[in-house]
Amino acid sequence: MATVATSDVSTKDQLSLAYTPGVAEVCEAIAADPTMSRHYTWVPNTVAIVTDGTAVLGLGDIGPDAAMPVMEGKAVLFKQFGGVDGVPICLATTDVEEIIETVVRLAPSFGGINLEDISAPRCFEIEDRLKAALDIPVFHDDQHGTAVVTLAALVNALRLTGRTAESTRVVISGAGAAGVAIAKILLAAGVKDIAVTDRKGVVSSDRTDLTPSKKALAELTADQCGRRGTLAEAFDGADVYIGVSGGTVPEEVVATMAEDAIIFAMANPNPEVHPDVAHRHARIVATGRSDFPNQINNVLAFPGIFRGAFDVHASAITESMKVAAADALAALVGDDLAEDFVIPSPFDPRVGPAVAAAVAEAARRDGVART
């Protein structure tokens, strides 16, 4: 990574324009009308990539210093696939109040905040409170980026297997950041029968060990469809399995799924159900890995989502903007839809622009666009 100027500064006149005295005119214009920063600074095209290093990839709590390579990589992807400038910010605190206060104080320098690799359940409170405090997009990619791409792949998988969202039974293993967001976006897309599981089984309100976030999740999912019990009991007859938990699902449990089952086993580097096993019992299989077909990869979502939000100076990223992004991704597969092709490649040049356009239009419909 490097910071690169967008205009030349090699003459006296250019220096006077870029710095002093010329820059003072821009400062005065923004002081008189702060919205001018959208036109005369890099702020509206720049996202802060913020982490505390507590949930980095599959490595866990490795701290802010060790998290920096991932945040740098994220910034590179923002630029490559969305034309968005990203600044990695690794915070030397895990305290919720300190993280929120720090990000709020930094916010004037950025057009949006991308929260990254912050452990659950703290990440939920941090995101919710930052959304309430700021008038710029706040997006936790581990939650929502994963959810958008999962929904896009599922839309096409349901189409291929002749299912409707309303009639599909889904099991999600993992009640952390990604599992919660996936459940919510599937509900928004019309799926009604969802059971989310953790290490102790289905997250339902008859359990006495639920955290507040899991209690709220239970009320939205298992409580609505009467699901209870173990992971194996949830699997029996399920149409779709979505894994965002790690661990391994025994093959005898996988074998109890419905005919033409759909399995998205997304743990890295070891999927919850190895594709070789999954293919014996499912029609469509996806993972989070690049060496198997149907990779559920967040890079399909977050650059285009921020690009679209920035293009209309959106004040937030709404649920319908995320669903619109998923629908745009799904539509790119088109007539090429097949068991091994339910989601486009990150290198498809149509991805970023299509997602950005869909997100910008949804922002206008939701009334969060400012241009």
116 is in an annotated binding site: yes
d(CA 181, CA 270): 21
If residue 23 lies in a helix (H) or strand (E), which one and from where to where?
Answer: helix 22-32
Alpha helix positions (H), 246-367: 251-254, 275-278, 302-311, 319-333, 351-366
Measured in degrees and rounded to the nearest 5, phi and psi for residue 14 equal -65, -40
73: helix, strand or coil: helix
Question: Do the Cβ atoms of 166 and 159 come closer than 8 Å?
Answer: no
268 assigned ligand-binding residue: yes
74 is catalytic: yes
Q: Is 241 among the catalytic positions?
A: no
Q: Which residues of 251-278 are buried (b: 16+ CB within 10 A; e: fewer)?
A: eebbeebbeebbbbbbbeeebbbbbebb
Catalytic annotation, pick one of 74, 131, 184, 322: 74
Is the torsion defined by CA of 109, 111, 114, 115 positive or negative? positive
User: Residue positions in the annotated binding site for (S)-malate?
Assistant: 268, 297
User: Residue positions in the annotated binding site for a divalent metal cation?
Assistant: 116-117, 142
User: Residue positions in the annotated binding site?
Assistant: 116-117, 142, 268, 297
Return the active site residues. Answer: 19, 74
